[in-house]
Amino acid sequence: MLQSLRVKNLALVDQAEVEFSSGLNVITGETGAGKSILVGALGLVLGQRADRSVIRTGESSCSIEAVFHLPDPRAVDAILERAGLPPCEENQLIVRRVVREAGSSQNHINDAGVTLQVLKELGRFLVDMHGPHDHQSLFDPEFQRDLLDAFGGLQSERASYEMAYAEWRDILKRCEALSGPEAGVAEQIDFLSFRVKEIEDAALSVEEELEVTQEHQMQAHAQQIQEAGQTALQALSEDEASAFPALVAAQRALSELTAYVPEAEDWLQEAREVAARVQALQREISARISAVEVEPARLQWLDQRLAVYERMKRKYGPDVTDVLRTLEEGRQRLEDLQSRGERLAALQEEASRQEQRVREAGAVLSRKRGKAGEKLGKAIVGHLHTLGLAHAAFAVDLRPTDPGPAGLDEVEFGFAPNPGEAMRPLRAIASSGEISRVMLAAKVVLAEMDRIPVLVFDEIDANVGGEMGNVIGRKLATLAERRQVLCITHLPQVAAHGPHHFAVSKRVEKGRTFTRVQALSKTERLAELARMLGGDLESRATRRHAEEMLQRSR
C-alpha cells in the first residue's frame, strides 16, 4: 500500500505530507483547490513525463516522495535486481523524484539513482491510476484485448504466441533479404567477409579485456606502486620509529606490568597478535610489490592490445559483448549469402513450419480468449446492474484475423445500455456517464484478478449523482476490502463511504496561493460533507443529512 506522499513546490502546493491508510481513502475539496495535484504528484513519482511548468512559481525545483509497504515484494525486487539495485528492506520501497527548472530530473529508489524507465516499470506493478479522461482507453482495441487477457490470466499463452510470432517474422525478414536482386550480393559478401575477418583476427573476449586493463594499470603505474609500497614497509618495520619496533617495546613494558596488573596478561597477548599481523602484512606487501617490475616492452604491448579493443568497440559496439554479437550476426548473414539458393529454400521451409506453430499457438490463445470473454462479459454485466444500468448488456466479440503481434483475433467490446437495443461497439454508443460505470465495473473485476496493491480513481463519479453516488461509493468500499483505494470525488454520497477522509483547501497570503491537505476528524468530516451537500453549514438539517449519510454508509 501507499503509506505516505510528500510533495514540495508542485503547482499550488508549497509543502504537503499525506499519510494514507489501507482501505478506501477519499479526497475532497472545492473546485480548483488542487485535489488532482496529489494524483499528478503520484503519477510523476511513478515515471510520467515531467513538464517544468509544474514547478511552483518562483521555485527552481519540485520534489515528490512516495513510501510504499509491499506485503509481497517479489515482483518489485525482480525489477530492482535487473536495475542493479538491492531488494526492498523490510518490504518498504521509497521512490523519490526531483524535477528541476534547469538541468535534468533526478530519480531515486531507496536512495539509489535510477532511470525514468525503471520508475515506469515499477509504476505498473505498484499503482493502477484511472483519471477523468482514461475512459477513452476503453475504446482502444489493444486495451480491450489486454484487459481480456489480464482477466483470463492468459499471460503465458500470450507470451508463447508472441515468441513464436517474433521468430516467424525474423525468418521472413531473412527470406526477404535473400530474395532480393542479385545486384549487390557480391559487394555484401565482400563487406561481411572483411568485417568477420577483422573481428576474428582481433580475438576479443570479455575476460581478456579485464585482465589486460588491470595489468595495464599495474604496468603504467609500476614506479608509483613500488614507491608507495616501500613507504608502507618502512612505516611498518624498517624505520626506527616504525610500527613493529614500537610493538616490541610495548610487549616488553606489558610483560613487566603483568607482575602488578592482572589485566596486563590480556594486553600483552593482544600486543603479540598485533605484532604478528604487522609482520604478516609486511611480508604480503613486500612479496606483492617485488613482483611489480617496469617492463617497457610489455607496457607497449598492453597499450596496443587495449587500442585494438577500443577500435573494435568504436566500430562495432559500445562493449565487447556487442562486438561479439556483431560477429555472430555477420557470420550468419555471410553464410546465408554464400549459399543463397540453398539457404533461401531452407528458410522458406522453416518459415512454413514456424507459421504453423504461430497458428497453433494462436488457436490456443483464441480458444481461451473465447472462454474468458464469456466470463468477462457476465462479470461486467453483474457489476453494471448494481451500478444503475439494470438492463445493460455487455459482451466481448472476437473476430478472426491474420496472424498479428498479439494473436489471431480482433477484440471488440459490445454494449447495449437499454433493453431492446442491438449490441453495438462500446465506442459507438456509450455516454460519458455510462462509460465511467463500465470502466469502474472493469476495474472491480480486474482487481479480483491482479495483484496491483493501489488503485487510484480521479473523479470516477463524473456525470453521475444522487443515489448512483451511493452505489459507486459502496462499490469502491467493496473494492477497498482487497486493495488500497484512493478516490478523488465531488459527491458526498461517495465520500461518505471512505473511512479515511482528506480535504484539500487553498488560501491566499501576501498575493500567493497555498494548497493544504488535511486528514479530517469525525467532526471535521461532518462539516466537509455538509459543505459538499451545498446547504448552510450552520444548518441543523444539513448536518443531520451529513450524519445520516455517514450512518447509512456504515
Mean pLDDT of 28-42: 81
> Which of 169-178, 193-202, 222-231, 426-435 is predicted least confidently?
426-435
Percent of the chain whose pLDDT exceeds 70: 94
Where residue 177 falls (left for φ over 0; alpha for ψ -120 to 50; beta otherwise) is alpha
pLDDT of residue 549: 80
With CA atoms as reference, report the closest residue to 54 among 42, 40, 66, 39: 40
Average pLDDT over residues 210-239: 83
Better-predicted residue by pLDDT, 467 or 261: 261
How far apart are the C-alpha atoms of 386 and 174, rounded to whole Å? 55
Per-residue pLDDT tens for 369-418? 999 999 999 999 988 888 878 888 899 999 999 999 999 999 999 888 88
Instruction: Concatenate the DSSP letters of all residues of 384-428 into one string.
Output: HHHTT-TT-EEEEEEEEEEEETTEEEEEEEEEE-STTPPPEEHHH
| Residue 25: per-residue pLDDT | 93
Stronger pLDDT, 219 or 196, i.e. the higher one: 196
Please give the model's pTM, rounded to 2 decimal places.
0.60
Distance, CA of 481 to CA of 478 (rounded, Å) = 5
Q: pLDDT band at residue 536, thresholds of 50, 70 and 90?
A: low
Question: Averaged over 161-189, what is the pLDDT?
Answer: 83
Closest CA to 485 of 500, 471, 470, 496: 500
User: What is the three-state SS of 282-321?
Assistant: HHHHHHHHHCCCCCHHHHHHHHHHHHHHHHHHHHHCCCHH
DSSP single-letter state for residue 55:
B
When the pLDDT of each residue in the chain is averaged and rounded to a whole number, the result is: 85
Maximum Cα–Cα distance across the chain: 109
Q: How confident is the model at residue 449 (pLDDT cuts 50, 70, 90)?
A: low
What's the pLDDT at 334? 87
By percentage, how much of the chain surpasses pLDDT 90? Answer: 29
Vertex 443 angle, CA 441 and 449, to 5°: 115
| Rounded Cα gap, residues 220 and 215, in angstroms | 8
If one compares 294 and 258, the residue with the highest pLDDT of the two is: 258
pLDDT of residue 535: 62
pLDDT in tens, 118-147: 888 888 888 887 765 555 667 788 888 988
Domain annotation for the chain: domains and CATH numbers: 1-132+440-446+453-520 (3.40.50.300), 158-362 (no CATH)
**pLDDT over threshold 80, residue 446:** no
